[in-house]
Structure 1
Amino acid sequence: MLRFVFWTLFISNLALAGYQFGLAGKWPLETREPERLKQQVRTDQLVQISASAAQTSSEPVAAEPEKKPEVIACLELGNFLQSDAAKIEDKLKTLALGDRQSRINISETASHMVFIPSQGSKEGADKKISELKRIGVSDYFVIQDQSNLRWGISLGIFKTEEAAKQHLSNLNNKGVRTARIMPRALTTNKFAYQLHQVNGDEKSKLDALIKDLPAHEERSCQKTS
């Protein structure tokens, strides 16, 4: 009986030893830790991230909306003397705005005039005009009424005294020394251009063109009756 128990325990121990050392084969789910790590691919590039980051990274990135070019609904240039119409229109037609360009008449009441006193005669006025042209002054008007300003030269009529003083200062910088300012209520018929749906490229071209235009104001379109 003891011999039977001995051999039974001996065989059991041998079976247990073989199982522990892998002699009986490997079970599918019994892969040891070192061998499992060897089977992983490129473990050096694994990075641990949080659950919220993983959720965010899996969401599709929304495309930024395309920025639309800026368009000016209606731009107005004015107010110009009727005598300047041909020169201004010759410049504006290079923009090729077609029916997006229109012209409006404006009645403007001014109260201050920059002028050169009477030159005594038409010949004297013509001589003074030649001097003005030589120094680059092209905006003028020979006064021919029967007042004491006859054969004087108007260099601009302005709504405010401040605007008249600024224009006189600009003329002085060009070399005009005999110009003066006087109050004079006068209504003049001028005109302005309205330019519709002006895009960025057209505005850049316009800015380059209007540098050579007579004194003017650039503004949003005024309502016309």
Structure 2
Amino acid sequence: MLRAAVLVLLLANAGYYAWAQGLLRSWGWAPPEQSEPQRLEQQIQPENLRLGRANGTGTTPNGNANANGGEAPAAPATPPAPASTAAPSTSEAAPASAPPVAAAEPAPCLQAGTFEKGQLDALRTATAGLPPGSWTLEPISLTGRWMVYMGRFADEDTLEKKRAELRARKVPYDRPGAALEPGLSLGRFSTEEAAERALATLGTQGVRTARVVQERTDATGYVLRLPAATAALRTQAEGQLRGLLASRPLRACG
């Protein structure tokens, strides 16, 4: 029974295969043909179709070369590859940058003074040899000044005796200036009241012959200024103004 079933199944499969392949078409047993003639009718000038090659020649549909050199339809252009945005390799050595140049320090500003109006002519004569524009004379207001003064003495011997007395009492003194020579200055003050108080204090120390005098009235003084005093300019100025700068050395501008 099983053998008969297997034999029937094999015969059925063989018959289906023969029917599907059209082997039984002559007997009228075959599947219907699938065709779409309307697609052929929709073609536009199929005889002009050419297959392109890399060398620019074409082939006809039957495989022969196109002797007329007809060109095949252009293939769509391939878009260019986008530029790489990747960062450059760190293995590439960057050009070495030059070391920064240290800026030269500006020349300092120096000044000397105060000089009185009567010294202006001597100042202008001494600075005439300095480079033009390298110096200025700037006026400043000078308030009056008072001095506790001893003098004038008749001679140098009397002056020396007074110096010895002051040293014994431990009282400091100084030269009063050319206008009050020969004499001794026991202190200079910006107000007359301050000078009077100092005189009273000296009286308790045994100083009896001193008095308060006005050394200077309100006036205008002058400061010599070197705005950019290079080492060479400073040396030149100190050489040419040696006498005037003896008691007023150059110092940093205030």
TM-score, structure 1 normalization: 0.38
Higher strand share: 1
Larger Rg computed on CA atoms? 2
TM-score by length of 2: 0.35
Return the structure number with greater relative CO, CA threshold 8 A, min gap 6: 1
Identify the structure with the greater helix proportion: 1
